[in-house]
Chain A
Amino acid sequence: DVKVTQSSRYLVKRTGEKVFLECVQDMDHENMFWYRQDPGLGLRLIYFSYDVKMKEKGDIPEGYSVSREKKERFSLILESASTNQTSMYLCASSPYSGYEQYFGPGTRLTVT
């Protein structure tokens, strides 16, 4: 079974803090994704990576950056957390482009 893990299930941070969310997959997948999910807005893609050190912006990259130094690990960074970044953050991995995605358990981030 594919396993995608995320560093925290729940996180509370203050406005202006730098926040790191980590994601690790154990299936040697090429592609990894970061989404946020908000009620009524569905899943929105923040960034994705198709190879080590390679990344592309998704639909809502503003205020976020990513890092992929190793194939199995994809990090999402909130440079200066704001209250409108309070959300559920989901990491996913996929073996190839256009194939199914496997999601981690999610991190519920609250910024106060």
Chain B
Amino acid sequence: QKEVEQNSGPLSVPEGAIASLNCTYSDRGSQSFFWYRQYSGKSPELIMFIYSNGDKEDGRFTAQLNKASQYVSLLIRDSQPSDSATYLCAVKPPTGGFKTIFGAGTRLFVKA
């Protein structure tokens, strides 16, 4: 089992819809969780981080963390074509020192 798993997609949603991106992780003691957005040919940029169970909202983005079920999700409300990108989930496990484990990413396509 991979340490951080994401559906590779592509996930296709119409403009204005809610896009839901999911990520599961294997290390139950993980404490820090991150979502990055990566446009084609560009480097990843941080969208959100979440440390506590529950929801964290920032504009059109909501991160949801459920430690008991070991998943973290990203909701994008009112999706725009400019949201089309690959979204990387990253998890800081309790062991492993300074390492952060990245998922392979989910490609999102928002249709105008």
| Binary CB contact string for chain B from 81 to 112 against chain A (1 if under 8 A, 0 otherwise) | 00000001010100001111011110000000
With A45-B99, A48-B99, A56-B98 known as contacts, the answer to whether A100 contacts B49 (CB < 8 A) is yes
Contact yes or no, B103 A42, CB < 8 A? yes
Shortest CB distance B88–A (Å): 7
Pick from B42, B49, B90, B105: contact of A105, CB below 8 A: B42
Please, what's the 1-or-0 string for B26-49, where 1 marks a CB less than 8 Å from any CB in chain A?
000001101000000011111001
Asked whether, in the complex, the Cβ of B43 is within 8 Å of the Cβ of A106, the reply is yes
Instruction: Choose among B42, B46, B98, B102 the residue that contacts A43 (Cβ–Cβ < 8 A).
Output: B102
**For A41, A100, A105, which residue has the most chain B Cβ atoms within 10 angstroms?**
A100
- Residues of chain B within 8 A (CB-CB) of A40 are 104
User: Contacts of A48 on B, CB cut-off 8 Å?
Assistant: 98-99
Q: Are B88 and A43 in contact, with the CB atoms below 8 A? A: yes
Q: Which of B42, B92, B104 contacts A98 (CB 8 A)?
A: B92
> How many A-B pairs fall under 8 Å by CB?
47
Which chain B residue shows the least CB distance to A101? Answer: B100
Residues of chain B lying within 8 A (CB to CB) of residue A104: 43
Taking residues whose C-beta sits less than 8 angstroms from the other chain, chain A's interface range is 20 to 34
Q: Does A102 belong to the interface (CB within 8 Å)?
A: yes
Q: Binary interface profile of B, 48-79, with partner A (CB < 8 Å = 1, else 0)?
A: 01000000000000000000000000000000
A91–B102 Cα distance when bound, in Å, is: 14
Closest to B35 in A: A100
- Distance in angstroms from B72 CB to nearest chain A CB is 14
B residues with CB within 8 A of A: 31-32, 34, 42-46, 49, 88, 90, 92, 97-100, 102-105
Q: List 26 A-B contacts (CB under 8 A).
A: A31-B98, A40-B104, A42-B88, A42-B102, A43-B44, A43-B88, A43-B102, A45-B99, A48-B98, A48-B99, A50-B97, A50-B98, A56-B97, A56-B98, A90-B44, A97-B92, A97-B97, A98-B32, A98-B98, A99-B32, A100-B34, A100-B46, A101-B34, A103-B43, A103-B44, A105-B43
